[in-house]
Amino acid sequence: MTLRTLPEMTAARLPDTFAFTHDDEALQRWQAGVRAEQTPENTISILDVIGEDFWTGGGVTSKRVAAALRQIGDTEVFVDINSPGGDFFEGVAIFNQLRLHKHKVTVRILGLAASAASLISMSGDEIQIGKAGFMMVHNAWVLAVGNRHDMRAAADTLEPFDDAMATVYSERAGVEKKAAVRWMDDEQWFNGEQAVEAGLADDFLTADTAIDATAAAAHEDINALRRADALFARAGLTRSQSRSLLGEIKGGTQDAAPNATQDAGDWTAAAAQLIATLKT
């Protein structure tokens, strides 16, 4: 199975009452900062959340991937992935960009390819994963705000997205579509060996791909804020409300760094406590 035979995915933007947010378990498992020690010049690094990241101004967008592809030019491409996922629409756009590249695309899953990042990984002609790496697939997940008609519309809108993802996973893995649907319904996690066995990856990372995890600790505080943001969203707060409250927790400004003496997990605990208070 090569990416040339995979179908193009289309995804119209959701209404303003819907918003994608990060999967909390993926954020917990993600070791941000993991990267390859050495990479070829023709490498695109997807080592962050998918889509524009509110907290850092970073994130991996289709615009940035398009610019990287233009710079690399008419040659094969390596794509290094360590991401908890994020914006589904950006993931679809990046998948299509890589799928349509005229030369070989080798995807290397260094740590985690979850949610939208797992979809992006399917664009590879060859998919390599670390034995200690993980891949997670699930149905598209959104926060929907509104009345019962909005809720029904949310389910109706997401159904074709899930169907398209199931097609991509099943065709790439060479399994029946109902098997991919079951993976997605179960929010299935695959370690490296399981991903290769399932057909979602072709082989393990080559012996010369050394992993550097020394920068991971520097990202823990921001990752905790992302998790707190997701907790607020699940509690029913709008994005503007949750980020305003998190700004107050951090000290009154949205770009203030967390206190270096406070453990990163405390941010999520503080968010959970604040949610409980708001519900009383």
Q: What is the residue-level pLDDT of the chain in tens, covering all 280 positions? A: 444 567 777 765 555 545 556 677 888 888 888 889 889 999 999 999 999 887 677 899 999 999 999 999 999 999 999 999 988 889 999 999 999 999 999 999 999 999 999 999 999 999 999 999 999 999 987 767 678 888 888 888 889 889 999 999 999 999 999 999 999 999 999 999 999 999 999 999 988 787 887 665 556 666 666 777 766 666 666 667 666 776 676 654 444 444 433 454 555 566 556 555 544 4
233 and 176 in one domain? Answer: no
What pLDDT does residue 150 have? 80
The residue count of the chain comes to 280
268 and 137 in one domain? Answer: no
Tokens 């900062």, located at residue: 33
Which tokens is 152 given?
């029904």
Which tokens is 254 given?
């949205």
Last residue of some domain: 176, 193, 212?
212
Q: What is the CATH number of the domain that holds 187?
A: 3.90.226.10
What pLDDT does residue 261 have? 38
Q: What is the rounded CA–CA span in Å between residue 171 and residue 181?
A: 12
207 and 147 in one domain? Answer: yes
269, amino acid identity: A
Last residue of some domain: 164, 180, 212?
212
170 and 77 in one domain? Answer: yes
**114 within 8 A of 73, measured Cβ to Cβ:** no
- 3-class DSSP state of 52: coil
Q: Are strands 77-83 and 43-46 parallel, antiparallel or unpaired?
A: parallel
What pLDDT does residue 218 have? 52
226 and 102 in one domain? Answer: no
Cα torsion 273, 239, 230, 57 to 10°: value is: -120
Last residue of some domain: 159, 181, 212?
212
Tokens 């954020």, located at residue: 27
Q: What is the rounded CA–CA span in Å between residue 177 and residue 95?
A: 19
What pLDDT does residue 257 have? 42
What pLDDT does residue 131 have? 93
Domain that holds residue 66: 3-212
112 and 161 in one domain? Answer: yes
In angstroms and rounded to an integer, the radius of gyration of the C-alpha atoms of the chain is: 19
221 and 207 in one domain? Answer: no
- 3-class DSSP state of 202: coil
Q: How far is CA 46 from CA 27, 59, 99, in A?
A: 15, 9, 15
Q: What is the DSSP letter of 4?
A: G
229 and 202 in one domain? Answer: no
Q: What is the rounded CA–CA span in Å between residue 177 and residue 169?
A: 8
What pLDDT does residue 235 have? 65
233 and 147 in one domain? Answer: no
Q: Are strands 142-144 and 18-20 parallel, antiparallel or unpaired?
A: antiparallel
Which tokens is 106 given?
């080798």
What pLDDT does residue 268 have? 55
The packing angle between helices 88-99 and 62-72, to 10°, is 20
Nearest to 231 by CA among 34, 86, 21, 30: 21
Q: Indicate the number of domains in the chain.
A: 2
What pLDDT does residue 23 have? 75
Phi/psi of residue 205, nearest 5 degrees: -55, 145
Give me the DSSP letters along 205-224. Answer: PPTT--EE-TTGGGGHHHHH
**48 within 8 A of 111, measured Cβ to Cβ:** no
15 and 123 in one domain? Answer: yes
206 and 238 in one domain? Answer: no
Question: Which residues partner with 79 through β-bridges?
Answer: 44, 107
Per-residue burial over 121-143, b if 16 or more Cβ lie within 10 Å, else e, is bbbbbebbbbeebbbbbbbbebb
116 and 53 in one domain? Answer: yes
